[in-house]
Structure 1
Amino acid sequence: MTRTFFVTGTNTEVGKTYVTAALLHKAAEQGLQTAAVKPIASGCEQTPDGLRNSDALTLMDAMTQDLEYQQVNPIALEPAIAPHIAAMEAGKRLDTSRLEGICRGVMSGKADLVLIEGAGGWRVPLTPRQFLSDLPKALELPVILVVNMELGCINHALLTAEAIRRDGLPLAGWVANFARGPQGEMPRAEENLMTLRALLPAPCLGVVAHDEHGDYRNGAAHLDLSPLLSSSE
């Protein structure tokens, strides 16, 4: 049985890829076959093979399935700016129906766990009438929220959780990520964690410490997949 989740964050640059890759690695350690999709990525670099995104490449490194780059990252945009602006400048049209088809193709494969990583936060616009959040809605996916632990994170996390639930999707779990620095650098870190645990309507899958080397394998040791695996059985 394939379990699929959509990974979003409280903002951009909050460690979604690090956490997604860590979840994939944790699943692989437990003997699961994994796959991932980064439907839209801005901030890509020109290579002999075309535009490539470091986040998408990290996911390809972490997952067990062997997928073509275009399956993992179908929309690659060069400027490191909002996707809808980058697409407009590149003359590309962003459409959730095409992305839905690509995601369903990966979801129908042999992976036990598929993670689809968003871009930025929950309500990222694609067109004047479409948002990236329309993709998990179309796919009816439970959501994993990555919370960047910094001042203001409680408000950001609760508002995002409210938006997810208002869109009719379950919040399957959340990960606290100290993406900006060591836990000790955040005032009252433990108190903030306790508040989030009490107020967010989903289990905490783990607390990931800042990793100056960015090695997702280190983060995997601090994650617990059991709420995700049991919730989909």
Structure 2
Amino acid sequence: MLTARPLPLHGRFFVTGTDTEVGKTWVCSQWLQRARAAGQPARGFKPVAAGADVEVAPGQWRNSDALALQQAAGNVLAYDSVNPVLLPAPLSPHLAAAAIGRTVTVAQLQQHLAGHLAVTEGLTLVEGAGGWRVPLNDSETLADLARVLALPVVLVVRLQLGCINHALLTAEAIAADGLILAGWVANQMPGTAMAASADNIATLRARLPAPQWHW
């Protein structure tokens, strides 16, 4: 069984989840804030966000997750740098893009991130959308973006019934794509409780091929 370790406050990571709504953005935001508090530069990116749910000015929309990352990093980057692709509908990215007659590709997102990822100082987080295999278009998924970026992966596991299966399958998929699972974070969503949560975490520690990371 691998021992738990504190979250590193420097490095570049791709953050994925066992599903959608598992708390990826909350984990990333807390992580970025802690890096800044320790004096480290921090940058958070949401390359594609589906759901324009915050109107910051008349007719000017943003995604709440991307805004949270921007603010947690100290607003050092413009919104369009944090979130280059904002799709209006809260759907899987391939469906949200199709709804407005748009195609989003891995190459587009990679090109946008290239300059930002050349910066090696401090902490840089690239947050995916939903789980590992979320479709981006007819032939590519967000996993393909993670693969071309070649960043170590951090898995956010929402503590709920079924999380062991979801976490193990995701870890297998990450390995099959040739990427390193650097660590995982167990996240208890506010207002929820999981029976035998400590036992489930112990099982994950024993079976996942990476250490648990904690605050």
- TM-score normalised to the size of structure 2? 0.90
Q: 1:173 aligns with which of 145, 162, 183?
A: 183
- Name the CA distance, whole Å, in 1 between partners of 2:190 and 2:18: 14
Cα displacement (A) at 1:65:
5.9
Which of 198, 202, 215 is the equivalent residue of 2:206?
Answer: 198
Equivalent position amino acid for 2:30 in 1: A
Alpha-carbon contact 1:161-1:171 (below 8 Å) kept: yes
Report whether the alignment pairs 1:54 with 2:64: yes
Aligned residue in 1 for 2:21: 13
Of the candidates 45, 49, 66, which is equivalent to residue 37 of structure 1? Answer: 45
For residue 210 of structure 1, what is the aligned residue in structure 2? none
The answer to whether 1:80 aligns with 2:90 is yes
Q: Secondary structure at the match of 2:198?
A: helix
Give 1:25's aligned amino acid.
Q
CA deviation map 1:172-197 (0-9, x unaligned): 11000011535xx2111111010001
Trace 1:33-182 onto structure 2 (pairs within 5 A).
33-45=41-53, 46-48=55-57, 50-64=60-74, 66-109=76-119, 111-179=121-189, 181-182=191-192
Deviations 1:171-223 (A, max 9, x none): 011000011535xx2111111010001111111112xxxxxxxxxxxxxxxx1
Alignment: residue pair count:
204
Q: Which amino acid aligns with 1:23?
A: W
List alignment gaps of at least 5 residues for structure 2: 1-9
Superposed displacement of residue 137, structure 1: 0.5
2:7 — aligned with what? none
Q: Residue by residue, what CA displacement relative to the aligned partner does 1:36-55 show, whole Å, maximum 9, x if unpaired?
A: 11011111134437330000
| Cα distance change, pair 164–86 in 1 and its aligned pair in 2 (3 A) | same
RMSD: 1.5
Aligned equivalents of 2:41, 2:120: Cα separation in 1: 7
CA distance in 1, matches of 2:145, 2:207: 26
Specify the SS of the correspondent of 2:77.
coil
Aligned partner letter, 1:116? V
Quick one: distance in 1 between partners of 2:69 and 2:60? 18
* TM-score of the superposed pair, with normalisation by structure 1: 0.83
Residue 214 of structure 1: aligned partner:
none
Closer/same/farther in 2, CA of residues 135 and 23 from structure 1, 3 Å limit: same
State the secondary structure of the residue aligned to 1:123. Answer: coil
Comparing 3-12 with 22-31, greater Cα deviation is found at 22-31
Find runs of 4+ consecutive structure 1 residues off by over 2 angstroms. Answer: 45-51, 108-111
What is the rounded CA distance, in whole Å, between the counterparts of 2:120 and 2:149 in structure 1?
Answer: 18
Change (3 A) 1:110 1:50: farther
Distance (Å, rounded) in 1 between the aligned partners of 2:60 and 2:202: 45
User: Which runs of 5 or more residues in structure 1 are unaligned?
Assistant: 207-222, 224-233
Write out per-residue CA displacement over residues 53-72 of structure 1, whole angstroms, 9 at most, x where no aligned residue: 00000001111461111110
